[in-house]
A and B are shown apart, each in its own frame.
Chain A
Amino acid sequence: DAKTTQPPSMDCAEGRAANLPCNHSTISGNEYVYWYRQIHSQGPQYIIHGLKNNETNEMASLIITEDRKSSTLILPHATLRDTAVYYCIVRAHDSWGKLQFGAGTQVVVTP
């Protein structure tokens, strides 16, 4: 699976949009981009995934660049409850074996 690179931390003001970048320059054509988050002491929670097109759900939006080498997770109106570690991973549909996570981005939403 392709490697991903994320900033270790970022702050965001409550009510503002949080834009979380992820670099995956070696992504292959059949690999999806997934985002998860982990709120302190809880199990990781799935947020969103995409292959080529931008995606939106009730939690967030995922913007994937045309060359697919990077993506951005957007939390449109951050709340204090969005404070968490956010993980970006890439997976091919047929490679769900060693599902491994990187260090992620620690996002702190401040009042």
Chain B
Amino acid sequence: DAGITQSPRHKVTETGTPVTLRCHQTENHRYMYWYRQDPGHGLRLIHYSYGVKDTDKGEVSDGYSVSRSKTEDFLLTLESATSSQTSVYFCAISDGGGGTEAFFGQGTRLTVV
């Protein structure tokens, strides 16, 4: 299995509090991604990174920010959590070379009460 770890795996937080999710990789892959998945929906891209300090928005980026200060870590921050951000969050990594694949973490289940 690809070396990708998400932390925490489960979290319950209150509305209005800041929350940071961490994705850590040991593969030295260039691309990292954050997705959310809700019942009845597929994977929706929040943000992605194509290098240290290089990030861009996905299709559902409102209310989220990201940072990547090191190749191995990609942080997702909810500045002020809302109940609509209750979801399962997945991180993925990819080398981005020809014919390569993306690898996914096991997910973080976030509940905002």
Contact = CB atoms under 8 A, between A and B. Distances in A.
A65 to B, nearest CB: 19
5 contacts: A41-B107, A42-B106, A87-B42, A93-B97, A96-B50
Given A34-B101, A99-B45, 4 more contacts: A42-B106, A96-B94, A99-B48, A100-B45
Interface string A81-111: 0000101000001101111111110000000
Interface in B87-113: 88, 90, 92, 94, 96-107
A99 B33 contact: yes
B12 interface: no
Interface residues of B, number: 28
Contacts of B98: 32, 93-94
| Chain A contact surface mostly | loop
Interface of B: 30-31, 33, 35, 42-43, 45, 48, 50, 56, 58-59, 88, 90, 92, 94, 96-107
